Amino acid sequence: MSDAGAIQGSKTRTLIYLLFAIQLISMGAMEMSGPFWPVHLRDLASSQALSSFAGSAVYIAPMLGIMLTSAFWGRIGDRYGHKLMMIRALAGLSLTQLALAFSSDIEVILILRFVQGACAGYIAPAQAYGVSIEAPARRARLFAILQISTNVGSLLGAVVGGLILDHASFFWINFIACLLCAMCTVVAAVTLPDVAPVKKAPVAGSPATGSKGSVWQGSPLLPLLGVMGILLVARLLPQSVFALYVSAEFDVGNWVVGLCYGLLALGFILSATAWSRYFEQRTQQQTLQRITWVVIACIALSAVAGTTHNPVVFAGAYFLWGILLGATTPVLMALISKAVDSSQQGHVMGIAQGTTQFASIAGISVGGLLSQIHGLQYTYLYVCLAYGLALIAIATLRYRAFHHA
């Protein structure tokens, strides 16, 4: 246990719940505007082409910013402390939301969204800070709790944003988000204790400062990141065409579309902590073996979703799919965290966050492109194929781990 020994028992639980609350509120604040950016940009655009481009770029820009900078911020956190990086990220979210509230030029909005991702990136330092106070055996549960907070915040934020937009202008969504992020910044600065960075102990016969490749050499980090990325791509392939697919296939109202979409997140929220407890005492080989069966089940449910003509069956498949997803990213994040020592957690969490952003961009973009080329009817066939690729990656990782044991 790194610094977890200094902060134990009920105090650790209190701090984890505080991290949960801060992440829920701050991520919920950001998601208040999430579903409504295309509507807002359509009113600002001078042409349909510009509106379509901006409607996608406004989501990709912050992902790209996070992807390019998260590893850098992680190294800074390893050196100076992850609490400082959390405060920096929350302050960045607050300031960029304030600037967005007063921006009415599409080019400026897209630049600000990129800057928001590049200067903020809250999730990775929050994960690294959590690792520094939590016992290694409970890391899967920690990542599950933090990811649940993001999902709950996304659901609640979208609802609150819709209510605000029904009664006020888009300005107030961004301005209220600015105030909420500023409040989270103050709470994090005042209530979270400082945890000293872990100094990397020099290894006998090696230079005092570790080489750049030391994070990767002899560790399963890269294949674990690859597996996690492929699983995220598989999940996000239907993202950009989901509403179109459900409306076209089942001829249902928008509330049913929203319900089906929300059931995926609900399944994850209900199952993630239970899955994390199940995997806590498993070795890497045992964990990967069980994740293999989870992926096979995801293939089966994706096949059901892509072949059924019954909206109830489709909704049920999405809910069960969400339950299975609780056994993927949080559990793999715990394996990734355990693959390196405590002095490199910020760097590795930053790399992992960059990987998730890249996978998100790839999944959304490839899914939209394939649907335009081949049509909506093959959407979930692509999901099954992506999960099949994940099975190959997991089998390769298990084979490598077995022969290096």
Where b means 16+ CB within 10 Å and e means fewer, 271-298 reads bbbebbebbbebebeebbebbeebbebb
Is domain 1-194 in CATH 3.40.50.1980, yes or no? no
Structure tokens at 77: 């956190």
Q: How far is CA 79 from CA 6, 15, 190, 238, in A?
A: 19, 22, 21, 39
> What is the C-alpha separation between 45 and 53, in angstroms, rounded?
10
> What is the C-alpha separation between 227 and 97, in angstroms, rounded?
34
Region of 375 (left: φ > 0; alpha: ψ -120 to 50; beta: rest) is left
Residue whose C-alpha is closest to residue 357's, from 67, 62, 154, 57:
67
> What is the C-alpha separation between 362 and 377, in angstroms, rounded?
20
Q: Are 45 and 316 in contact, with CB atoms under 8 Å apart?
A: no
pLDDT of residue 200: 60
Task: Give the residue ranges of the chain where pLDDT is below 70.
Answer: 1-9, 198-218, 254, 342, 401-405
pLDDT of residue 390: 93
> What is the C-alpha separation between 14 and 390, in angstroms, rounded?
37
Residue in the block written with tokens 């065409």: 241
At 106, which amino acid appears?
I
pLDDT of residue 177: 94
Cβ count within 10 A of residue 399: 10
Instruction: Count the alpha carbons within 13 Å of 256 in the hemisphere toward its beta carbon.
Output: 17
- What is the CATH superfamily name and number for domain 216-405? MFS general substrate transporter like domains (1.20.1250.20)
Q: Are 318 and 263 in contact, with CB atoms under 8 Å apart?
A: yes
The continuous run of DSSP H or E covering 229 comes out as: helix 221-236
> What is the C-alpha separation between 73 and 350, in angstroms, rounded?
7
> What is the C-alpha separation between 117 and 89, in angstroms, rounded?
9
Where b means 16+ CB within 10 Å and e means fewer, 247-270 reads eebbeeeeebbebbbbbbbbbbbe
Q: Are 401 and 220 in contact, with CB atoms under 8 Å apart?
A: yes
Q: How far is CA 10 from CA 15, 17, 142, 198, 280, in A?
A: 9, 11, 15, 23, 19
Q: Which pairs from 100-103 meet CB under 8 Å and 24+ separation?
A: 100/33, 100/174, 101/171, 101/172, 101/174, 101/175, 101/178, 102/171
pLDDT of residue 300: 96
Residue whose C-alpha is closest to residue 157's, from 326, 24, 319:
24
Structure pTM?
A: 0.74
DSSP code for 206? S
Structure tokens at 70: 């998260």
Q: Do 1-194 and 216-405 share a fold?
A: yes
Residue in the block written with tokens 């399963």: 220
Q: How far is CA 116 from CA 85, 124, 157, in A?
A: 14, 15, 18
pLDDT of residue 151: 81
**Domain extents in the chain:** 1-194, 216-405
> What is the C-alpha separation between 345 and 367, in angstroms, rounded?
32
Q: Are 89 and 141 in contact, with CB atoms under 8 Å apart?
A: no
pLDDT of residue 208: 40
Instruction: Give the ranges where 237-283 is alpha helix by DSSP (H).
Output: 242-250, 254-279
pLDDT of residue 206: 41
Q: How far is CA 375 from CA 291, 323, 368, in A?
A: 31, 28, 10
Residue whose C-alpha is closest to residue 146's, from 19, 34, 30, 25:
19
